[in-house]
Amino acid sequence: MTAGKFTNPFYTTELVWDSDITPNGLAEVIKFDKLFASAAEDGFDKDGKTIRAKKAESPWELSLVAGQFLFDDNLENNFDNDESTDAYLFQTQLLGSYKFGKDVKVTFAPGWLVENAGSLSGLQNSQPFNDSPNVSGATRNISLLLAPGEVSFKLAGHKAKFLWDFAYNIEGSKRYNDIFDLVAINQHHETVDDIAFLAGFQFGENKKGGDWSLLAYYRQAGVSSIDPNLNDSDFAASRLNTRGFKTSLAYNFTDFAVGALTWQYAWNLRDNLVGGQATGGAAIADSNDVSILQVDFTLKF
C-alpha cells in the first residue's frame, strides 16, 4: 500500500493518463504470482554443505492494482452540491502477463476507472474541462472500461513491441448531454463518441548511451469517451473528438541525457459537433486539425 503523492501505479498509455501526472491518494498492489509462488527447497552436497535451490521462474505474472485519488478539493460551504463535493477518481486493474519463451511476452491489463460528480477548477492541462456557470460537475458521468496491453519481442536483436489501449465510457450518452449543456438542438449522440483507442509500434528502447527508439501510433478519442483533464496534453493539445498519428524518435546521448523529436497530427473525428462545451465554454473539441512538432531534451538525475 502506498499513500501520498506518487508515480501512477497503473499499467497504462497516454491515451487515458498523461505520463506527467502523479496522483494524490492511496494505491494498493497485490502480486498474486509472488503471493502463491512455491518455495524451492535447498539440498546438500556429499560434504553436508547447503546447495541453494534455484526457484523455477513462472511464465505468468498476475497483479491486482487499485487506486483511490483526490482529484480536486472543494469548499464544503457552497450551496451547489457539485461545487461542495470533492472530486475523486477510483481505478482498479487486473494486470497479467505471460512469457512465450525468452523474448516474447504478452501483457494485458483490463480495468475500470470511475469519477464522482464533483467540481473542478484551476486545472492546467492544455485544454482543461473546468466547471462553468453552465456545467457543474466536470467529472460527471465518467465510468470507463479500459483494456491496455502489448506484445513485446526481439526484432533484429533489439527490443520491440506492438502496443494498444482501449477505453469505453459506459456513461457516455449522459456525459454527451452534459458536454452540450442539454441544449444541443441538432446534435445526435453516436457510439463513436464514447470510444477511445490507440494502436501502435515501438522499436528500440532508451536506457543507456547510444540507445535509440522509434514510436508510431494511431489514436482516436470521442467527445464523451475519456477525461480531457487526464489524457496526454501534447496530442491534439488534449482535445477530444480527434483522430490522428504520432511519430517519435528518441536518442540517448549519454545514460542520463535523452533527446527526442516528435511530430503529431490530428483532425476531427466528427466534423459536425457544434455548441455546448465542445466548441464553446471549455471548448474541449474546438479544433478542425492540430499539428504539433516537438523537440525535447531530458536530463535524468
181-209 pLDDT per residue, tens: 655 455 688 999 999 999 999 999 999 99
Instruction: Return the pLDDT at 29.
Output: 97
pLDDT higher than 80, residue 166: yes
Cell of residue 6, nine digits: 506518487
Please tell me the predicted confidence (pLDDT) of residue 137: 65
DSSP line for 183-230: --TT----GGGGEEEEEEEEEE--SSTT-EEEEEEEEEE-TTTS-TTT
Q: Cβ distance 65 to 8 under 8 Å?
A: no
Question: Which SS3 state, helix, strand or coil, does residue 32 take?
Answer: helix
- Amino acid at position 70, single letter: L
Is it the case that residue 39 has pLDDT exceeding 90?
no
Please state, for a pLDDT cut of 90, what percent of the chain lies above it: 61
- The pLDDT tens digits for 48-99 are 666 666 666 789 999 999 999 998 877 666 555 556 678 899 999 999 999 9
What local confidence, expressed as pLDDT, does residue 268 receive?
94
Q: Per-residue pLDDT for 259 more than 70?
A: yes
> What local confidence, expressed as pLDDT, does residue 160 receive?
97
Give the whole-angstrom CA distance, residue 52 versus residue 56. Answer: 12
DSSP state letters, 232-279: -SSGGGG-SSEEEEEEEEEEESSSSEEEEEEEEEEEESSTT--SHHHH
Lookup result for grid cell 494498493: 28
Write down the domain spans for the chain: 2-36+56-299
Share of the chain above pLDDT 70, in %: 86
Average pLDDT value for residue range 114-134: 77
First to last CA, the chain: 26
Given pLDDT bands bounded at 50, 70 and 90, which one contains residue 46? low
Give how far Cα 262 sits from Cα of 203, 235, 265, 291, Å: 15, 10, 10, 11
Q: Can you name the CATH fold of 2-36+56-299?
A: Porin (2.40.160)
